[in-house]
Amino acid sequence: MRVWVRPLRFHFRAVNRIFWPGSGATNVLRGALGLTLRDHSGCDPRCSSLKTCVRSDGVVCAYRRIFAPHAADGPSGLADAPRPFVIRAGFSRESTEPDGSFRFDVHVFERDPWVAQTITDCMAEVTRRGLGPSRGRATLESVEILALNGRAAESHDGHPQCAHMVGPWELSWELVDQTLRRVVVRFVTPMELKTEGRVLRHAPPFAVLVARVRDRLSSLALRYGEPSETFDYRGLVERTRSVRMVESCVTYRPAGRFSTRTGNHHTLGGFTGYAVYEGPVGESVGLLRAAYWTGAGRQTVWGHGALIVE
């Protein structure tokens, strides 16, 4: 299977004071991005079914394609396809003062530059409209395209044209080192995993972690990349069952949000920290490193489930 990513880093400067509520800055931006995409697409907010949101020329509207993708021809359990992006906030403060700077990263998995361009256009618009409960405004100062080493591969002032940007980059999970017997996994953004019907509040067994990362990458490959009929999905996990967790230190933080559109409460909690695993880990290290960009587990669109592997 093959998955591509175009990591965009947006740098802003606040015009007014911006408050970031307890649900988190990524939740604020995600909501604002969704509303702006609906306006950008000309969607009727009274529309009861986004599954039929197709223009007269047969083109799926930007809101449905980017923010509410639906797999009409897939299994019922996969009807709600993964979104082609994740959002990461580059700060954790409660507010940004006037003239203060802040940034968000958006990792885009659609290879079509139109998707990255539409998100860039909307990112510029949402900050002009205002963010957070105070509707504080900001200006988009620059956009960087990150390389897979985390450094900027390109930088553009103002509002760039994504068709001329470098990337996207193909994520690789080639065998790192078959002899590798010890690895440290750092859970850098909240991770929520479920196994056997229950939510884990502690570091996961290695096989569970690998299985959830595999599931995340395979779903992205199916929708936006290239799935594979020869990839050993089951065997990869089975070969990790002898890996032991020898040390861990994680903290579970409950959190949530309320959807004004559906009237439902959604959990945004998860654990952060680290775990040390020993055993035949070499085959899985590349896969886990890819999860830094894609996230794994639940609520990945909010930037949850990011891993750093050492």
pLDDT in tens, 69-80: 876 554 444 456
Specify the higher pLDDT residue, 56 or 172.
172
- Write out the H or E segment, with its range, that includes residue 199: strand 198-199
Contact of 239 with 282, CB cutoff 8 Å:
no
Question: Which residue do the tokens 């002899």 mark?
Answer: 179
pLDDT at residue number 77: 43
pLDDT of residue 78: 47
List pLDDT tens digits, range 17-39.
Answer: 999 987 788 889 998 998 898 88
Q: Mapping DSSP to helix (H, G, I), strand (E, B) and coil, where does residue 256 land?
A: strand
The answer, yes or no, to whether residue 52 has pLDDT greater than 80, is no
Higher pLDDT, 139 or 178: 139
Query: C-alpha distances in angstroms, 252 versus 77, 79, 187, 216, 292?
Result: 28, 30, 11, 22, 19
- The amino acid present at 186, given as its one-letter code, is R
Q: What is the mean pLDDT of residues 192-202?
A: 86
Alpha-carbon gap, residue 303 to 26, rounded angstroms: 7
What's the rounded Cα separation, in Å, for the pair 139 and 157? Answer: 12
Predicted confidence band at 63 (pLDDT cuts at 50, 70, 90)?
confident
Average of per-residue pLDDT across 206-227: 95
Tens digit of each residue's pLDDT (9 = 90 or more) over 157-166: 887 777 778 8
Question: What sign does the CA torsion over 195, 249, 94, 86 have?
Answer: negative
SS3 278: strand
pTM assigned to the model: 0.89
CA distances from 3 to 15, 88, 94 (A): 37, 19, 34
Is 149 strand, coil or helix?
Answer: coil
**Quick one: pLDDT at residue 212?**
95
Residue 262 binned pLDDT confidence (cut-offs 50, 70, 90): low
Tokens of 36: 């702006």
Give the chain's domains with CATH numbers. Answer: 4-170 (3.30.70.1890), 182-309 (3.30.70.1900)
Cis before 75? omega within 30: no
